[in-house]
Chains A and B, each alone.
Chain A
Amino acid sequence: MASTIRVRATVSGDTTEVQALIQHPMDSGFVKDAQGQIIPAHFIQQLTFEHGGRTVFLANWGAAVSKDPYVKFSFKGGAKGDDLKINWMDNKGATDSTTAKIS
Chain B
Amino acid sequence: MTVKKNLLWIFLLLFSLPGWTQVPFFQHYVLLKNKSPLVNSFYQDKTGFMWLGTNEGLFKFNGTTFQQFTQVDSLPDNNVTAIAEDSLGRIWTGHKNGSIGIVDHDKITKFIPAEGLPSEEISDLLFDRRGNLWFSTLNDGLYYFTQDRLYRLDKENGLPDLFIYDLDEDDAGNIWAGTDGGLAVCTLTDRDATIKTIDARNGLPDNIVRKVEVAENRVWLGTEDAGVFMYEPASGVFRSIVEGTWRYGYVSDFAIKGNQIWIACPQAGIAVYDVIEKQIKLYGEKSGSSFVAVNSMLADREGNIWAASKTDLMRTYGDDIEYIETINPAKDPNIVAIARDKQGAIWFSNSEGLFSLSTDEFGESHSVKHLENTPYKKYSIISLYVDGAGYIWAGLYGEGVLRINPVNRKIVYISKELRNGNVLNVTGRGDVVWLATLGGGTQIKIDGERLTVKNYTRAEGLSTDYIYQIFVDHQNRTWFATDGKGVDMLDNNGFHHYENGLASKVVYSITEDANHQIWVNTQSSGLYVLDNNLFKPMLNPGSEQDDDISCLTADDAGNVVIFHNAGIELYDVDEKRFHDFGETVGMGNRKPNLNAFASDEHGHIYFGTDHGIVRYSPMKAVELTGPQPHIESFIVLDKKMDLSQLLDFKYNENYITINFIGFWFQNEANLNFRYKLDNNDRDWINTRDHSITYSNLDPGKYTFRLEVSETEDFTSAKTTELNFVIRSPFWKTPFFYIFSTIFICSLGYSYVKYRERRIRRDKEVLERMVKERTREIERKNLLIQEQTEEIKSMNENLEITVKERTCELERKNKALEEYAFITAHNLRAPVASVLGLINLMTKLEHDHEAREIIEHMQQSAEKLDTIVGSITRAIEKGD
Q: Do A and B bind each other?
A: no
Chain B residues near A (Cβ < 8 Å): none
